[in-house]
Structure 1
Amino acid sequence: MVETSPAVTFKSGFSSGDPIAYGEVLIYAPENTEVEFQNGRTDKNGVFSFLPDRAGIWKVEVDGGLGHKLMFDVEVAESDKNELATHEKEAPLQGSIEIRALLGISLIFNLCLAVTYLRARRKATAIK
């Protein structure tokens, strides 16, 4: 079973009907069949999802181990791509510059605290 709007979700299985649990997955974009667009593992039920960023024929490989490999193509239509682009515009997790600055300052402050703590601990150990 393959669904293509906007995420592509598939369930992989062996000929016996058992799912390819935790199988290695490689996803290749339409223009690049040498370097994978995404990789990962299926879940315990053999299910995997990915979000294509363009229309075209996507190559999917699922390696179940012990020489079992499933290879198939998924066609993503232009309308699916447009629907995906709409969802990307609505994504609320775009960090503002203020948040990034606060996170950077927090990181520096925490590193200074850690260095101070380690120096004090080392000094206390040397005195004993």
Structure 2
Amino acid sequence: MVREIGPKIAESIVSFFEEKSNLELMEKLKKAGVRLTSVKEEVKAGPLAGKNFVLTGRLEKYSRGDAEELIKAMGGTVSSSVSKNTDFVVVGEEPGSKYDKALKLGVTILTEEEFEAMLYPTTSFT
């Protein structure tokens, strides 16, 4: 299981590989010498290193994409669903069922302000 892949993405991946035309295309690319390599360099250090986050609700200061990029840039990972492997759930306005699941599992809930304090521990935003 890959922590960053939720049920919808997993379903899409399975669906892709079930299509004969996609498999044929991949085989043609392979025969032509195309090799897939990862260009993403994983951040091993940072204030969020080794921590897994889930975002729910609408954040005031960050778009979801910006918040995810900040987490990754500081060594953390972002998942689309709450599980026992989740370290923190960042809760914005009008949170969804992820908030309820986090409470049920005893996952640490962070407000946007608490999240910022983790990102920038020596800076005051008040």
* TM-score of the aligned structures, taking structure 2 as reference length: 0.22
Higher relative helix content? 2
**Of the two structures, which has the highest relative contact order with CA contacts closer than 8 Å and spacing of 6 or more?**
2
TM-score scaled to structure 1, two decimals? 0.22
Structure with the higher fraction of residues in strand conformation? 1
Query: Which has the larger Rg?
Result: 1
